[in-house]
Amino acid sequence: MTLTSGAHIWANGIRQHYLHFAGVGSRVLIVPGIVSPAILWRHVGEWLCRTHNCFVLDVRGRGLSESGAHLDYGFDACADDLVEFVRALKLSPLAIVGHSMGARIAVRAACRSPELFESLILLDPPTSGPGRRPYPISKSRTLKLLRSARRAEDLPAVQTSGAKPWPDDLLRLRSEWLPTCDERAVHVAYDEFHSQDLFSDLARTSMPVSLLAAGLGDVVSDADIADMRRVRTDLRAARLAGVGHQMQAEDFAAFSDALGAMLRNQKLDTDRFAS
């Protein structure tokens, strides 16, 4: 499978860029994380378009979407981008898959415009917020990664620590595309990780919700999953053993097995995935 197209669209008053991996199945929209341009999910889109019609969005301030000091980088603005993107391309109804910050944006969009989304899959969402523990991946570490890429430092300097090393091709893409990320957007996202409440947003969602948490890194703890289940008793949750926050890069085979099962609404193999 190969990349079908990349394009820009004017939606919510800004230029939004996306990748489209055309397939014959139902529509899926992927919303990446804090410093993850859409191109870093190319391998996921190439796999997913075998069974779905897949879109991957460059969140404002990342990749080829609009960026700059004139933009609001808060979750509300990003959620509005997502809603208007779906409306502009007439993609509804579709499944939305959000990773990390993208999961926080996806939940906000889903509770604002539930009619657009048929299901919601959250990949290791930051659970920090008022009265909760801090997000365990520090802002200084993320900024160091971004600044290293801007200085064109050697690839090991931009390797994210995790359970397993990234494949070389993804490391090269990460090094190439990290400099497109606006540092101002990183500061705002970290502020809102801690000032905005994921759980109140989750309680307002109405479509089926699934959670895939990393086995390492403690972004989503067992206590967090229990709290999520208190506000969404029908939550389908699984933990992917042996991988960290960037699960789609660290162990794509295990990640794709789990995501595929969630998209098909199938029971996960409990020998590999601990509920």
Band (4; pLDDT cuts 50, 70, 90):
confident
Q: Is the dihedral of CA 249, 264, 2, 122 positive or negative?
A: negative
Answer yes or no: is pLDDT of 271 > 50: no
Band (227; pLDDT cuts 50, 70, 90):
very high
How far apart (Å, rounded) are the C-alpha atoms in residues 165 and 272?
20
- Res 274: pLDDT: 45
Write out the two tokens for 179.
Answer: 């400099």
How far apart (Å, rounded) are the C-alpha atoms in residues 166 and 169?
8
In the chain, what are the domains?
A: 5-274 (3.40.50.1820)
Task: Give the mean pLDDT of 228-240.
Answer: 97
User: Percentage of the chain with pLDDT > 70?
Assistant: 92
Mean of the per-residue pLDDT values for the chain?
92
